[in-house]
Amino acid sequence: MGTGRWLGFLLILALSASFAESKYLKYKDSKQPLGARIKDLMKRMTLAEKIGQMTQIERAVASADVVKQYYIGSILSGGGSTPGLRSTASDWVNMVNNYQHGALSTRLGIPMIYGIDAVHGHNTVYNATIFPHNVGLGVTRQDALIIIIDLDPELVKKIGAATALEVRATGIPYVFAPCIAVCRDPRWGRCYESYSEDHSIVQLMTEIITGLQGEIPKNSKKGVPFVDWKKNKVAACAKHYVGDGGTNKGVNEDNTIINKQGLFGIHMPAYLNSIVKGVSTVMISYSSWNGVKMHANHELITNVLKGKLRFRGFVISDYEGIDRITSPPHANYSYSIEQSINAGLDMIMVPDNYNEFIGGLTNLIAKKAISMSRIDDAVKRILRVKFTMGLFENPLADTSLSSKIGCQEHRDLARRAVRESLVLLKNEKIGSGRRMLPLPKKADKILVVGTHADNLGNQCGGWTIEWQGVTGNGLTSGTTILSAVKSAVDSKTQVVFAENPDENFVKNGGFSYALVVVGEQPYAETKGDSQDLTLSEPGPAIIKNTCGVIDCVVVLVTGRPVVIQPYLSSMKALVAAWLPGTEGQGVSDVIFGDYGFTGKLARTWFKTTDQLPMNVGDLHYDPLFPFGYGIETKAI
Per CB under 6 A, residues contacting ligand GLC are 78-79, 117, 176, 239, 318-319
Nearer to ligand GLC, 350 or 422 (CB): 350
126 or 176: whose CB is closer to ligand GLC?
176
What is the CB neighbour count within 10 angstroms for residue 594? 15
Between 198 and 323, CB nearer to ligand GLC = 323
DSSP element (H, E) containing 77: strand 74-77
Task: Give the active site residue among 185, 254, 525, 551.
Answer: 525
User: Which residues lie closer than 8 Å to 580 by C-beta, 6 or more apart?
Assistant: 132, 136, 418, 421, 459, 460, 481, 557, 586, 587
Q: Minimum distance between the CB of residue 78 and ligand GLC, rounded to whole angstroms?
A: 5
The secondary structure of 515-527, three-state, reads: EEEEECCCCCHHH
Q: What are phi and psi of 76, to 5 degrees?
A: -130, 160
Instruction: Please give the C-alpha separations between residue 422 and each of 328, 418, 446, 461, 614, in angstroms, as whole numbers.
Output: 42, 7, 22, 16, 22
- For residue 266, the minimal CB distance to ligand GLC (Å) is 20
Pairing of strands 573-576, 423-427: antiparallel
Closest distance of CB 553 from ligand GLC, Å: 35
The 3-state secondary structure of 349-384, one letter per residue: ECCCCHHHHHHHHHHHHHCCCCCHHHHHHHHHHHHH
Q: Which is nearer to ligand GLC, 50 or 239 (CB)?
A: 239
Residue closer to ligand GLC by CB (options 79, 623) is 79
Nearer to ligand GLC, 318 or 454 (CB): 318
The minimum distance between CB 239 and ligand GLC, in angstroms, equals: 6
Cβ-Cβ contacts under 8 Å for 373 (sequence gap 6 or more): none
Task: Mention every residue, 6+ apart, whose C-beta is less than 8 A from residue 181.
Answer: 190, 193, 194, 202, 239, 240, 244, 245, 267
If one counts every other C-beta atom within 10 angstroms of the C-beta of residue 531, the result is 11
Catalytic residue status for 318:
yes
DSSP symbols for 194-253: SSBSSHHHHHHHTHHHHHHH-PPPTTPPTT-----GGGT--B-EEEEETTGGG-GGG-TT
Which residue among 185, 228, 244, 318 is the active-site one? 318
* Residue 138 vs 599, nearer CB to ligand GLC: 138
Examine the residue annotation and report whether 428 is marked as an active-site residue of this protein: no
Q: Rg of the chain's alpha carbons, rounded to an integer? A: 27
What is d(CA 340, CA 495) in angstroms, rounded to the nearest whole number?
58
Widest CA span of the chain, in angstroms?
Answer: 116
Catalytic sites, residue numbers: 318, 525
